[in-house]
Each structure stands twice: as C-alpha cells, then as structure tokens.
Amino acid sequence: MMDTFQRLHIAIRDVLGKECDVLRMEPNFHPIMFVLKVSNYVVGFAELEFVLKESLYTADEAFRTLYAEYASEWAGADLALVICPTQLKSLPDDIINRWEFDPYFCRRFILDMSSALDHQLRRLPFMPLHLGSEISESRPPGALDFLLSNGVSRELSESIVVPHRKSEETILRQCLEGKMGDLVWRKSLQKSNIEIATERRECTRLTRLRIGNFRAYKRTQEFDLDADVVVLSGPNGIGKTSLFDAIDFACTGGIARYEDLPRSKSDGMQKIYANLDYDGTESFVAMDVKHGGIENKIVRYVNSAAESKSDHDKHDRKGLLQLLTGSSETIPGMRVDNLINLFRASHSFAQEFHSLTPDSFKKDSSFSQETVSRMLAFQDYV
C-alpha cells in the first residue's frame, strides 16, 4: 500500500505531465514531507493525521523554519503550504477559513487524502492549466433548487432564499398561519451535486464603444478600444467614470453604483442614466466585441434595459453575459442577479464599486484582516 508521499508524488507527476522537482525533507522539519518547485512557487506539503487547530499552526511554524534554512535560494519565490490529512476531523468553518485566508508569509490549502487527488490538485492556483483540456466541475445545487427538490413550497423557498423579500418574523408568522404551504421535508432523489463541464475559453475582446445621451455624454461619442492596454486620462468631469458606467450598462443592463438607489423601473432609470440635458433622444450604449474570430455588434437602450440586441438577435441579461463570456453552459438555479454579481466581480472592477467588498467600502475607510486576505487571494478568480 502506498504511503502519503508516494500517492502525492504520483498524482502531482500525472497532473504536471512530467517528472516533478521534489525535495524530500529531513525528520527535523516534521510534519513537512517534501517541497515542490513549480512555476514561481515553492510549495510545502505537510502530512497530518487529523486537522486540528494546533496541528495547522505547527505545520505553519515548521514551514517558516524550513524557509529560514533556504531563504537565500527561495527569496524570490511565491510560497504555499498544503496540509494533507490522512483523516479528516471536523473543525468549525471559521477556524479553517481563518487559517486558509491568512495572507501572511504564505498561501494555505488543504488536500483530503481520503479522496481522489487529481481533481483537488488541478484546482490549486500554482498548478498549470493545460490548454484545451476539459475538466468536469462538481458544484452543489442552488439553494432554491435544493429546497424545492426536497418538497418545500415555492413561496416558502423564495421567501428564505431571495434577500430582503420577507423578514424572519413574517416568514414564521405566515408558516404558523398556513400561508406557506405544507411544512414538509421530503428527501430528494436528485443528485446532490450538479456536474458542469468547463473548459478553457478564448477571451472576448471589446473593440469599440459608442455612447449616446448617456451620463456625461450628450452627443454620440465613439471610442476605439481595440488594444491590449487602454489608458484613459483627463480632468475631473470629462467622462472617464461615465465610460465605465456605459460598459457596465451595456453588459449587465444596470450600473452597479446606482443599484441601491430607490427608483421606478423605467422612469427612474431614464432620469439617472440619461444625460442631464436629456431632450427625449434615446439613451443607448453600443459596443463591438470579438470572440473566436467572430465579431458582434451589441446595443442596449435605457428604455428597454432588460434586453439587448446583437446583430439583430435579442438577448435577455443572462443570455448576453453567456455570449460575452463565451459560455454555452446553462447553470441550473443561477439567478440573473447572482450571475451579474459574478460577472462584475471577475470582469469589471471599478474605482467606486468593488463588487466583492462593497460593504467594507461603505461602512468606513479601513479593512478588516479577513477582507484584506480575500483581496490578496484574488488570483484564485482569474
């Protein structure tokens, strides 16, 4: 029977597709078994019998001691520590998260040695992606689908899942009044996970943007953006932020920094999104995008923001985001608001609205350690 080192060595070699650069460690660096050099990373692998709070930080300290020994050789490398428990013991999520998201000294990950290693290793950010390879991802069903599949009524399911729809007190009162349907739980016969085929996709390139009667732009303006890097420069009020607003609107049908403002669906949008000297002319944003050698011309009007037109085809907001990201996969249970948030978080950071950390920016000007840890780990989402 293979030991932990042998299993990991074979699995890493299979994922890399070649023999790996591995340095075995002496017993005085226990629990560090070996160090892997891959890309610009130096990765320590530590074997633990159980995942305990004390053992996590023991492995941390051993890796620090090891680094001190090889500091001159590893000075320019990125560091990562992978914990490999032979048996998993439940720890509170907050302890695991605090350890994994701690940004100091190195990045941290846990591999479950009781499960297949191939898929777990491929998800680590320092392992190279294989161009053209297709990976089968497994994700749990959405909360709404999960509740419905287990016999919970739609009214109660949506009340629980949709933010701010009903308060906890209202949900409880209506359950007691019998307004939420039968309060039953039938164990679902559906698969607990949803298999999603993902593959490395070609990037979509925004090549041209036209803005008319929108935010700072009264007359129609056209911008050539067909370059690897585009720099916007100009004094305050010239329209730099409005250009980013226009891209956000064209892609998602809204502007992130205005979405918390109370407004009616049509009149309110027209007043906020149109130029201040609005004269009744249609407000619109049009963009040319290129994907896989195919060019698309997309236009979205403020007075019909829920849909866009692409070379005479109409798209709802979800359909356009799939077109822009090159995704043909329909993700079960994915609400359009969640898809928009995910798109903004991964594609459209803006100077006034950082989609992954909006609460921190609104409450005060300082960040908690947890928030900084998340921001430093943004390369996970690339």
Cβ atoms < 10 Å from Cβ of 225: 15
* 133 domain-assigned: no
Do 318 and 304 lie in one domain? The reply is yes
Do 213 and 342 lie in one domain? The reply is yes
Q: Give which of 298, 212, 220, 216 is closest to 253, Cα–Cα.
A: 298
Q: Which of 93, 128, 163 is the last residue of a domain?
A: 128
* 286 domain-assigned: yes
Do 88 and 222 lie in one domain? The reply is no
- Looking at residue 117, which CATH number applies to its domain? 3.40.91.50
Q: What is the C-alpha end-to-end distance of the chain, expressed in Å?
A: 38
Do 233 and 292 lie in one domain? The reply is yes
**Rounded-to-integer distance, Cα 378 and Cα 356, Å:** 10
Do 224 and 340 lie in one domain? The reply is yes
Determine the pLDDT at residue 322.
80
Are 260 and 337 in contact by the 8 Å Cβ rule? The answer is no
Do 40 and 97 lie in one domain? The reply is yes
Are 48 and 86 in contact by the 8 Å Cβ rule? The answer is yes
State the angle between helix axes of 168-176 and 154-161 in degrees (0 to 180), rounded to the nearest 10: 160
Helix (H) or strand (E) holding 78: strand 78-85
Determine the pLDDT at residue 332.
54
- Looking at residue 272, which CATH number applies to its domain? 3.40.50.300
Do 151 and 119 lie in one domain? The reply is no
Q: How far is CA 93 from CA 89, 101, 329, 360, in A?
A: 12, 12, 31, 22
Determine the pLDDT at residue 297.
92
pTM check: above 0.75 = no
Do 346 and 219 lie in one domain? The reply is yes
Helix and strand element counts for the chain (H, E): 14, 13
User: Domain span at residue 339?
Assistant: 204-351
**Rounded-to-integer distance, Cα 47 and Cα 126, Å:** 19
Do 372 and 238 lie in one domain? The reply is no
* 136 domain-assigned: no
Do 115 and 219 lie in one domain? The reply is no
Do 347 and 366 lie in one domain? The reply is no
Per-residue pLDDT of the chain (382 residues; tens, 9 = 90+): 468 888 998 999 888 888 788 888 888 888 989 999 988 889 999 998 877 788 888 999 999 999 999 999 998 888 999 999 877 666 677 778 788 887 788 899 988 888 888 888 988 888 876 544 444 445 556 677 778 888 888 889 888 887 777 888 999 999 999 998 888 887 755 555 555 444 555 678 899 999 999 988 888 999 999 988 888 888 888 888 899 999 999 998 888 877 766 544 445 666 778 887 767 678 999 999 988 778 889 999 988 888 888 876 888 888 888 888 776 555 555 667 777 877 777 676 555 544 444 554 445 545 555 555 544 444 343 3
Domains identified in the chain, total number: 4
* 53 domain-assigned: yes
Do 227 and 164 lie in one domain? The reply is no
Q: Which of 72, 101, 128 is the last residue of a domain?
A: 128
